[in-house]
């Protein structure tokens, strides 16, 4: 009669070996996961928070609008400005963001408006418009500035701003206070405002004004009722500008935009003897690409070097006929120096030539003496 359980399994040894191998594998996996967990906790490794349209979002901006249609806010001048303490800066209108994906931003909802952002680790300030005028009326936010928002790839940071339609409908009649927008003191060539210069009567919700610079200028602020006001950064048709919102009051206001010329350097090309330049000698403003000057020597002459701001600019590369000066906000002066074509022979070369000539003469003399001696023997 068989005795169950008394017989040893023929593969018992291999089963034990397999269990040991599996145990070792689990130990190795545990060590790897533990190390990875430590690195993730320390921020050395960043885990994606769920790929959305190819993005790893680490910030969600939610914009609620109360009292109007779903996309009323996008009708007005609505710009979101995001700045990192390290200098990074993004500024987009709501119309641009609602198109879907742009740069590091993606709109995933319009009611409420939700925008996902993929930013670098750091501290940010996010600015929203102080008021938005739409066909339904004026929207005012519960907050215009979120400062010191800490973005960390390990967690999805969420911020929310609520815009409410004042009065719940079209704008009522205001107190008939007026806003006068002046032309810029630096002239029409420096920039313009939206709305343009003129006098406007309040509709009960105040005004939002943009100062937009022309080429070669930048907007630096406003003067409101005699006091300087910085305004908020914004963009209009891709042009960096600034904006200001003026809340309703019982008083009239006067607003003047302030623009400043962007510093532009000038290059003075000085005339020289025995040659000229292209472009010709004169004063030239920097167009943002710097300057390139060619030297043209007269017949029988050559370029020896360039003098830039009083110093030899081509000492290590003599004779180069074209010189390039990088773009700069500073003024510079350049001048070519021409010399006779043969004046470049060095004294050492002349000395060696004289030695060679002397040696040749000595050999000729010796040969002649030899010929002379043989003639005397005959």
Task: Write down the pLDDT at residue 263.
Answer: 82
- In the structure encoding, which two tokens stand for residue 342, read together? 């043969």
Task: Write down the pLDDT at residue 12.
Answer: 52
pLDDT digits (tens, 9 = 90+) for 79-111: 888 888 777 888 888 878 877 678 788 888 877
- In the structure encoding, which two tokens stand for residue 211, read together? 């100062």
Within 8 A by CB and 6+ apart from 118, the residues are 55, 56, 57, 58, 59, 104, 105
Task: Write down the pLDDT at residue 222.
Answer: 94
pLDDT digits (tens, 9 = 90+) for 335-349: 999 999 865 444 444
Task: Write down the pLDDT at residue 38.
Answer: 52
Task: Write down the pLDDT at residue 122.
Answer: 83
Angle (CA) 257 259 264, round 5° = 175
pLDDT band at 204 (very low <50, low <70, confident <90, very high): low
Which of 30-39, 92-101, 177-186, 247-256 shows the lowest mean pLDDT across its residues? 30-39
**What is the rounded CA–CA span in Å between residue 284 and residue 233?**
33
144-164 average pLDDT score? 82
For the chain, where are the alpha helices, taking DSSP H only?
A: 12-41, 94-97, 347-377
Task: Write down the pLDDT at residue 3.
Answer: 43
Under DSSP, the state recorded for 207 is E
Nearest by Cα to 136 from 216, 84, 200, 203: 203
Cis ω on the peptide bond leading into residue 195 (within 30° of 0)? Answer: yes
pLDDT band at 357 (very low <50, low <70, confident <90, very high): low
Residue 353 has pLDDT above 60, yes or no: no
pLDDT band at 363 (very low <50, low <70, confident <90, very high): low
What proportions of the chain, in percent to the nearest 5, are helix, strand and coil?
20, 45, 40
pLDDT digits (tens, 9 = 90+) for 16-59: 555 555 555 555 665 665 555 554 444 344 334 344 456 688 88
Buried b (16+ CB within 10 A) or exposed e, 192-215: bbeeeeeeeebbbbbbbbbbbbbe
Q: What is the pTM of this model?
A: 0.37
Task: Write down the pLDDT at residue 199.
Answer: 87
Identify the helix (H) or strand (E) that includes residue 278.
strand 275-278
Residue with tokens 């070996």: 17
197-223 average pLDDT score? 85
Task: Write down the pLDDT at residue 173.
Answer: 46
Tell me the sheet residues that pair with 117: 59, 105
Residue with tokens 């689990």: 26
Distances (CA, A) of 168 to 68, 165, 174, 207: 7, 5, 15, 18
How many of the other CB atoms lie within 10 Å of CB of 133? Answer: 20
Question: Is the CB of residue 242 less than 8 Å from the CB of residue 209?
Answer: no
pLDDT band at 70 (very low <50, low <70, confident <90, very high): low
1-18 average pLDDT score? 48
- In the structure encoding, which two tokens stand for residue 201, read together? 């009567």
Give the sign of the dihedral formed by CA 351, CA 357, CA 362, CA 363.
Answer: positive
Under DSSP, the state recorded for 283 is E
- In the structure encoding, which two tokens stand for residue 111, read together? 């009611």
Which of 64-68, 112-116, 343-347, 374-378 shows the lowest mean pLDDT across its residues? 343-347
* Average pLDDT, rounded, for the chain: 76
Task: Write down the pLDDT at residue 4.
Answer: 39
Task: Write down the pLDDT at residue 372.
Answer: 53
pLDDT digits (tens, 9 = 90+) for 271-314: 999 999 999 999 998 776 788 999 999 999 999 999 999 999 88
Residue 221 has pLDDT above 70, yes or no: yes
Give the chain's domains with CATH numbers.
59-166 (2.60.40), 178-261 (no CATH), 266-340 (no CATH)
Q: Considering only CA atoms, give the Rg of the chain.
A: 40
- In the structure encoding, which two tokens stand for residue 91, read together? 């500024």
Question: Is the CB of residue 222 less than 8 Å from the CB of residue 254?
Answer: no
- In the structure encoding, which two tokens stand for residue 151, read together? 């973005």
pLDDT band at 213 (very low <50, low <70, confident <90, very high): very high
């Amino acid at each position: 009669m068989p005795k169950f359980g008394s017989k040893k399994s023929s593969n018992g040894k291999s089963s034990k070996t397999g269990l040991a191998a599996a145990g070792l594998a689990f130990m190795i996996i545990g060590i790897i996961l533990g190390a990875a967990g430590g690195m993730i906790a320390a921020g050395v490794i960043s885990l994606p928070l769920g790929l959305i349209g190819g993005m790893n979002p680490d910030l969600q901006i939610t914009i609620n609008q109360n009292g109007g249609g779903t996309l009323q806010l996008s009708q007005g001048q609505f710009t979101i400005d995001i700045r990192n303490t390290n200098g990074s800066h993004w500024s987009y209108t709501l119309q641009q963001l609602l198109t879907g994906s742009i740069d590091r931003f993606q709109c995933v909802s319009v009611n409420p408006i939700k925008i996902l952002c993929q930013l670098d680790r750091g501290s940010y300030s996010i600015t929203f418009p102080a008021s938005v005028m739409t066909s339904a009326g004026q929207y005012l936010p519960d907050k215009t500035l979120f400062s010191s928002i800490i973005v960390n790839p390990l967690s999805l940071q969420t911020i929310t701003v609520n815009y409410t339609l004042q009065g719940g409908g079209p704008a009522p009649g205001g107190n008939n206070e007026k806003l006068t927008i002046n032309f810029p003191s630096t002239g029409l060539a420096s920039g313009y405002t939206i709305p343009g210069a003129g006098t406007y009567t309040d509709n009960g919700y105040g005004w939002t004004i943009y100062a937009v610079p022309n080429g070669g200028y930048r907007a630096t602020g406003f003067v409101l009722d005699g006091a300087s006001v910085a305004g908020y950064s914004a963009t209009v048709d891709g042009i960096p500008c600034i904006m200001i919102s003026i809340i309703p009051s019982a008083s009239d206001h006067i607003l003047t935009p302030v623009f400043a010329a962007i510093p532009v350097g000038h290059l003075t090309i000085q005339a020289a003897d025995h040659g000229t330049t292209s472009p010709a000698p004169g004063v030239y403003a920097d167009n943002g690409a710097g300057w390139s000057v060619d030297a043209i020597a007269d017949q029988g002459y050559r370029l020896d070097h360039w003098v830039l701001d009083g110093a030899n600019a081509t000492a290590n590369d003599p004779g180069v006929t074209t010189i390039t000066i990088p773009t700069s906000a500073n003024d510079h002066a350049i001048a070519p120096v021409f010399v006779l074509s043969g004046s470049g022979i060095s004294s050492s070369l002349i000395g060696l030539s004289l030695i060679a000539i002397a040696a040749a003469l000595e050999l000729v003399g010796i040969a002649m003496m030899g010929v002379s001696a043989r003639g005397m023997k005959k």
